[in-house]
Amino acid sequence: MNKKDRATYIAKRLEELFPETPIPLDHTNSFTLLIAVLLSAQCTDERVNKVTPALFKKADNPKKMIKLSIAEIEAIVKPCGLAPRKAKAIWELSKILIEEHGAEVPADMEALERLPGVGHKTASVVMAQSFGVPAFPVDTHIHRLAQQWQLTDGKNVVQTEKDLKRLFPEELWNKLHLQIIFYGREFCPARGCDGLSCEMCQTCFPTRKKTRSYKKA
């Protein structure tokens, strides 16, 4: 298979395996999704989902959030790691949302990326999952598998995102990025597949003999 054929096959097979793609992070609105994605940096979705109910019970919108102190937020989100930085970012971005965006999360990539603690990946997730705007957020699973499947050379996540956007139709992006994550977690985890073991690797590269390493994000 050439690269385009692999992309076509991968998209088709992922749709068969994961026709439904629930968002892994529990949330009730665009604000709680934004906060959950921010907290997921260097933390598992499972742990975030254990932490956020207590936070969102107290504050599920910016106006409620700034009524909490940064110390209160930090105490709740501590299990997610990087708590001082994340708590400060949550409080500050809530204040900005109130002052500059009418207490609403803006459906604008540049505006999102200007918020404290919100990088390109976080903004992309919110644009895709809250507002339905085509985006291809690249997390560590996607960055790794895109290299494993030789869809990118993996120089960095920025290049990986560009390469995947070129290969896959725009209308697939929002669902496909979740499907790749689900596949990586279930069938091709970092410590469980060396490029030779899982179905996708075997089908796309039937003659591959050597294990594959990848460049980390």
Residue 90 near residue 117 (C-beta atoms within 8 A):
yes
Q: What is the phi/psi pair of residue 142, to 5°?
A: -65, -45
Domain count, the chain: 2
Q: Residues 46, 25: contact at Cβ < 8 Å?
A: no
User: How far is C-alpha 24 from the chain's CA centre?
Assistant: 9
- Which residues have a Cβ under 8 Å from the Cβ of 114 and sit 6 or more positions away? none
Q: Which of 80, 110, 131 is the last residue of a domain?
A: 131
Is there a single domain that holds both residue 166 and residue 116? no
216 found inside a domain? no
- The 10s digit of each residue's pLDDT in 81-107 is 999 999 999 999 999 999 999 999 999
Instruction: Output the domain CATH number for residue 85.
Output: 1.10.340.30
For residues 157 and 71, state if they share a domain. no
Helices marked H in 1-118? 3-17, 30-39, 45-58, 62-65, 70-77, 83-101, 109-113
Q: What is the pLDDT of residue 208?
A: 86
- Do 125 and 148 belong together in one domain? no
Q: Are 42 and 106 in a shared domain? A: yes
Can you give the pLDDT at residue 217? Answer: 67
| Tokens representing residue 162 in the block | 């560009």
Task: Specify the residue for token string 């990848």.
Answer: 214
Query: Is 211 part of any domain?
Result: no
Domain span including residue 95: 30-131
Q: Is residue 107 part of a domain?
A: yes
210 lies in some domain? no
- In a domain? residue 217: no
Clarify whether residues 13 and 37 are in a common domain. no
- Regarding whether 160 and 77 lie in a shared domain, the answer is no
Q: Does residue 49 share a domain with residue 77?
A: yes
Same domain, 123 and 34: yes
Residues assigned a catalytic role: 121, 139
Q: Do 86 and 160 sit in the same domain of this protein? A: no
Domain boundary among 104, 131, 158: 131
| Tokens, residue 113 | 């990326």
Q: Using one digit for the tens of pLDDT, what is the confidence trace for 116-173?
A: 999 999 999 999 999 999 999 998 889 999 999 999 998 899 999 999 999 999 999 9
| Residue finishing a domain among 83, 101, 131 | 131
Give, in order, the Cα–Cα distances in Å from 190 to each of 38, 81, 164, 185. 23, 21, 20, 8
Task: State how far the Cα of 138 lies from the Cα of 180, in Å rounded to an integer.
Answer: 10
